[in-house]
Homo-oligomer: A and B are copies of this chain.
Amino acid sequence: MTTTVSASPTAETSIGASTAARRALAPRGGRRRRILLRLLALVVLYGLWEVAARTTGNPTFIPSPGAVWHQLVQTSTTHDGVRGYSGHLLIEHLGVSLRRILIGSMIGIAGGVLLGVVMGTVSGFRVVIEPVVTFVRALPPLAYFSLFIIWFGIDETPKLWLLSIAALPPVAVATAAAVHSAPTGLVEAARALGAGRVHVIRDVVLPHALPEIFTGIRIAVGVAYSSVVAAETINGVPGIGGMVRDAQRYSQTDVVILGLFAIGLSGLIIDALLRTAENRLIPWRGQI
């Protein structure tokens, strides 16, 4: 936790013993160690899984890694004239869902930031909107999804709506909270320099809120991800959520696990991208 120029944003932080020298070393030694640790963890997890699968011996309980692998091959190829799962390859299911998640998240994030900023800055607006947002974000999507069908039909629109509404609240709440705690000292500094209301929001409030907004975004994307099955309960094939749901109803646990892996891994990648963007955009982290 020292004030260094070169501290790599991904360098490891360890409170209590970090110095410029340690930091400088971290990126290299750290990366290798990191990869090793992760590989080790993967191997251990794999071992545990294999053992668990063998001891229970019930593929509905815990399908073996081999069975899941087999399903990966099956769902990624055309075999016996059948294309993948339910007529679509795994990658197609995933692609369709990713598209939905990305569009939904994007709408939700844009809406969330907007709502959050307005809620944090326009008090008259907040008084009315904040309870509405709190109310809505408590509602279970499964409960109101039928209404969406009435309003938006059974195609893409209701799914995108559901995902947007799932992604919006974390961003809105995080943004509003961060905007609400904008640092008095810097707001005053900007105003002393002649900044107007909009300038203050753009140049102080938003940059200050950026780390929290990013946290909100990362949570939001996670929530959108975990809502994909709910969104695809209706007319969800092709779609990874629809696939999982279908497999679940037929107790094809191996396909369910495969779907979970596809979801989880792509989620990991997206989160890594978000974190990279975050580190780029917020060099002042820890300096305020």
Give A contacts to B, CB under 8 Å. 1-3, 12-17, 30, 33-34, 37-38, 41, 60-61, 120-124, 126-128, 131-132, 134-144, 146-147, 150-151, 166, 169-170, 173-174, 177-178, 180-185, 187-188, 191, 196-197, 200-201, 205, 211-212, 214-216, 218-219, 222-223, 225-230, 233, 241, 244-245, 248, 251, 253, 256, 259-260, 263-268, 271, 285-288
Contacts and interface: CB of A to CB of B under 8 A. Distances in A.
- Secondary structure class of chain A's binding surface, majority of residues: helix
Given A140-B227, A143-B229, A219-B219, A121 B264 contact: no
B182 A225 contact: no
B256 A12 contact: no
Nearest to A225: B138
Given A136-B264, A139-B263, A123 B222 contact: no
A267 B14 contact: no
Copies in the complex: 2
Given A138-B225, A169-B222, A201 B15 contact: yes
Given A1-B188, A16-B191, 9 more contacts: A1-B184, A2-B188, A14-B121, A137-B222, A138-B226, A138-B268, A139-B226, A147-B253, A180-B285
Contacts of A144: 256, 260
A146 B60 CA distance: 10
Nearest to A17: B197
Contacts of A184: 1-3, 286-287
A251 B147 CA distance: 10
B183 A14 contact: no
Contacts of A137: 222, 225-226, 267
A138 B182 contact: no
A250 to B, nearest CB: 11
Contact of A15 (B16, B173, B205, B266): B205
